[in-house]
Structure 1
């Protein structure tokens, strides 16, 4: 199995991250009318933060120094009003921005899920379900933590930072310059730490994807693990992956832990500079005590937004690594596209023709080679042969999970590449060897292909499939909830429900993949009887390993190394004494 594209995007410089960020911000477009409101609230909150130190400094010079208690009292009321107004604006801003971001993230999840549903079967043949789940859940969660929970604070602090810088230079140019001397050092420090953090956060996204894959695989195969005594080995493998994830996160945290004290040191350095130079200016009369006090307050406020912005920047590195992985998924080639002039498949009569079809999952590695066959309406075609011969590939091509490399597949004379996939598959049913049932009621599982089916139609399908009596014996009958994948049912019961599902769809072409294997004799008789009813007047393709189940087929095709080497009825092939006759004799002798 391969992971979905590169688990970790190639190392990118900050300039190369801009397209990713711009693409992500494109999700804001539907809410562009809300953005000015949110930014206005951000500006009000920032203005209140910037105005406070100025009013304090002005009060020291003009009220306290003049013993103006009445004016000081009015100023205190004004200060409270400014800060209360700012707090209310900040609260409203957080709500508004959160409203936008959560809808943005919901759309992102929808896009990921929609993309996964539209990806070709070939993609899932080579990808790991755990990594897909990690991108849908864990990666979006990381983006949520970075943008959904802190973006409002980040915007507020960014505006506050701009307001503080402007106020500093307006009040005293020389003190403003001294206060901002550490900014170049801060930018260099931030750049270095962000580059180190970006590398480590990419590794954390990789390891959580691998860990999710391991968890999904081991939970779904716990029976096999216990049966083959692999529990200890699975635990050891999980410990190794868990340790790798732990170490990757520790490395990332270590970078963050070293970054914050560096910013604190620069804060202290700036405060000392303002205190020393401001004190000198105050002593020489070039600045008032109120101005120096205001600057000390501004310096403290100046570095608080920088610390928060720096923390956000560090989080953003993790979020961008997650966004890169998400966009790698969204950029995967979609499913086989319908032709621009594709038509809806007319009601199928059931004639299926392969015209010199060749196909390979990989270039220059053909699985089918020049295969030609014709199934008349209502015929049953049995496909037999060794594992890997190409039987399942024939089925996948009929369903158009893949397009042929050369040749053509036609149904009722129409090339299936010229019809829409949905209209084609709507008229094809299948019953597989390992059928998947879903968490939900029995009725919902039977109606999986026809959600609009009535209760009477569902019950009628169950009766045809010989499963009605079993269902009515359940505690809640058709409303009985099934466990994940129908784990609380026997294999035979799951098979009968899958047959009922196919009956309800009423397909004109039916595909069965060893539908009676691995079940007891009594249940096999019920399944076989249900299948016989289902096959009636339908064109069907049956993949069979037990040749005794296909003796009544209209055609038996022997597939070997991607080619049809024999074809005919059971009696004709036995009479030929070829490969099929030998296989049948071997199975008969083993029986």
Structure 2
């Protein structure tokens, strides 16, 4: 059995392709004047295209009657040149407009994605989110460009063609009307048969891309565990599922093409037959027959164009809908309209009866109540899953509690701006979280406006200067994706330098020294001790050397604080903390105990 199709965030009632199309066009509203000008130009282009068959027929009639045709040919040439100029203008301006709006849509989706909570990215997967942004914005570009450059003039041309054809001969016009009805009916029929399947195809396609991103992102594990064949087989199975869904749609679209070609051929034969009959009776001139043949060719071309657009729109709709879903996703963390900035932070932190339960799970944190005075260090310890990281996520408002409140300097963090709150907190994670940029740029993330001297000083305090100087280009050395070209200890020191540069009054160390060897940890500990001076510090740690000097240790189990106190008090209390020490849950360097 192949890999199962993962659950995907979907609307309770998916948008129809027509609604998606209308919403996509509304995104052009900021440049409605330019879009309107393009629409007017499209009317002009459609008018010229309709005039050409009429003029063609007039030339034929004039020549057959040996009448002067120069003025008709001159008018035809003038209109043709005007149509060419209008078409070029529309093509260039529409292209620029579509490119510009595509990049704006991509930027908006990017800004929305990075504001969404971690739970959204965990559920969706980074590969899927990236694919949604890229494919959705690409499809919007195609839709805008195609609509403005081709489809609008095609639709207008068909609308104008009907009364013009009727004015020449209603019987011949009826043939064209029947052809248009056949094309429309065939398209609606095939669309009804394929729209649901296309949504499933897009889900499988997104699944394939997500799997590719997941595997490539963990290529070291794949190679180390000899997963090359297994992962390739799994991907082929997923591609097989995708093709099984895609083939029926391709069959319907193939049938649509054949039926449309058949209808077009029958219509042309009918026009020649009816034209010959009416001409034999003297009710239609040869020039008018020629005009109707040109009308038929023009109509068939326009209908083919609109039909291809409809099919392509069905294929694009799920991708654009996914982008709209991303844009519509509501962040779990909402800043209040009257939120005020948190200024002059001293670092007095209070958790007042705080609880958070994860949806669909018994896990979370419950009844957390504690106080940390400015400059104190508090350590959170406990088994995996006990709620340590969740507690500090609440402090940063990466999540909001279900009950209770968190105060900084007496201000409820729910009442302050997110930007000012997070500027007041510097975090060093277990995973350093580095970008594929230079060392200097990664450090400067802590304070973007910092000058080189401040960056160098932060690196020295983090004891990173020694290895940075050995890299080609020093601070300009690009470290690769997630810092792949650095060792674990080097990555962690860059992260610590970043936190030092930020110089925030509250410091969070989430397993910050776990990637370091004993010698490096000793150097980093000196830097952290310097950094902690005068700052309120929260530490999550499994190494006792990082918690022995904490002013208070909170021991968590199943999301609750089960013990609190200093190291000496807890080690002698015969509780969970003491059992963790006795079981080897912490290692204590001899120098720390002396």
TM-score where L is the length of structure 2: 0.93
2:294 and 2:307 map into 1 onto residues whose CA distance is 20
CA shift at 1:277, angstroms?
Answer: 1.7
1:188-213 superposed Cα distances (whole Å, 9 cap, x missing partner): 11101122232333233212211221
Q: CA RMSD, aligned part only?
A: 2.2
Q: Partner of 2:231 in structure 1?
A: 234
Q: Residue 2 and residue 492 in structure 1: after superposition, are their counterparts in 2 closer, same or farther (change >3 A)?
A: farther
Alignment of structure 1 residues 325-404 onto 2, 5 Å: 325-362=322-359, 365=362, 367-404=364-401
1:459-498 superposed Cα distances (whole Å, 9 cap, x missing partner): 1111111111221222211111111111000000011111
Q: Residue 589 and residue 40 in structure 1: after superposition, are their counterparts in 2 closer, same or farther (change >3 A)?
A: closer
Alignment of structure 1 residues 247-396 onto 2, 5 Å: 247-362=244-359, 365=362, 367-396=364-393
Q: Is 2:460 the counterpart of 1:460? A: no
2:429 and 2:73 map into 1 onto residues whose CA distance is 78
TM-score where L is the length of structure 1: 0.94
Match of 1:5 among 3, 6, 9: 9
1:107-149 superposed Cα distances (whole Å, 9 cap, x missing partner): 2212211111221233223221111011111232233334424
SS in 2 for 1:219: helix
2:112 and 2:225 map into 1 onto residues whose CA distance is 37
1:68-101 superposed Cα distances (whole Å, 9 cap, x missing partner): 3xx2344434433332322222121222222322
Q: Partner of 1:54 in structure 2?
A: 54
1:519-546 superposed Cα distances (whole Å, 9 cap, x missing partner): 3222222222222221122111111112
1:264 and 1:467 map into 2 onto residues whose CA distance is 70
Contact 1:97-1:151 within 8 A present in 2 as well:
yes
Q: Is 2:140 the counterpart of 1:143? A: yes
Match of 2:571 among 557, 574, 582: 574
Q: Partner of 2:171 in structure 1?
A: 174
SS in 2 for 1:541: strand
Contact 1:90-1:156 within 8 A present in 2 as well:
no
Alignment of structure 1 residues 108-257 onto 2, 5 Å: 108-149=105-146, 151-257=148-254
SS in 2 for 1:371: strand
2:45 and 2:585 map into 1 onto residues whose CA distance is 85
CA shift at 1:350, angstroms?
Answer: 1.4
1:334 and 1:455 map into 2 onto residues whose CA distance is 36
Q: Is 2:528 the counterpart of 1:512? A: no
Q: Partner of 1:65 in structure 2?
A: 64
SS in 1 for 2:514: coil
SS in 2 for 1:182: helix
Q: Partner of 1:21 in structure 2?
A: 21
Structure 2 residues without counterparts, runs of 5 or longer: 589-594
2:14 and 2:112 map into 1 onto residues whose CA distance is 25
1:446 and 1:343 map into 2 onto residues whose CA distance is 28
Q: Residue 493 and residue 364 in structure 1: after superposition, are their counterparts in 2 closer, same or farther (change >3 A)?
A: closer
- Which has the larger displacement, 364-373 or 503-512? 364-373
Count of aligned pairs between the two proteins: 584
Q: Residue 561 and residue 243 in structure 1: after superposition, are their counterparts in 2 closer, same or farther (change >3 A)?
A: same
1:209 and 1:471 map into 2 onto residues whose CA distance is 40
Structure 1 residues without counterparts, runs of 5 or longer: none
Contact 1:380-1:554 within 8 A present in 2 as well:
yes
Q: Partner of 1:44 in structure 2?
A: 44
SS in 2 for 1:333: coil
- Which has the larger displacement, 503-512 or 112-121? 112-121
Contact 1:357-1:371 within 8 A present in 2 as well:
yes
1:22-57 superposed Cα distances (whole Å, 9 cap, x missing partner): 322111111111123212321222122211221222
Q: Partner of 2:584 in structure 1?
A: 587
1:395-443 superposed Cα distances (whole Å, 9 cap, x missing partner): 1111111111112211122211121111111010111111111111111
Q: Is 2:476 the counterpart of 1:479? A: yes
CA shift at 1:150, angstroms?
Answer: 6.0
1:331-389 superposed Cα distances (whole Å, 9 cap, x missing partner): 11124122233221122211211112111122784521212111111111111110001
1:139 and 1:257 map into 2 onto residues whose CA distance is 26
Q: Residue 74 and residue 154 in structure 1: after superposition, are their counterparts in 2 closer, same or farther (change >3 A)?
A: same
Contact 2:355-2:367 within 8 A present in 1 as well:
yes
Contact 1:353-1:409 within 8 A present in 2 as well:
yes
Q: Partner of 1:549 in structure 2?
A: 546
1:187 and 1:574 map into 2 onto residues whose CA distance is 80
Contact 2:406-2:413 within 8 A present in 1 as well:
yes
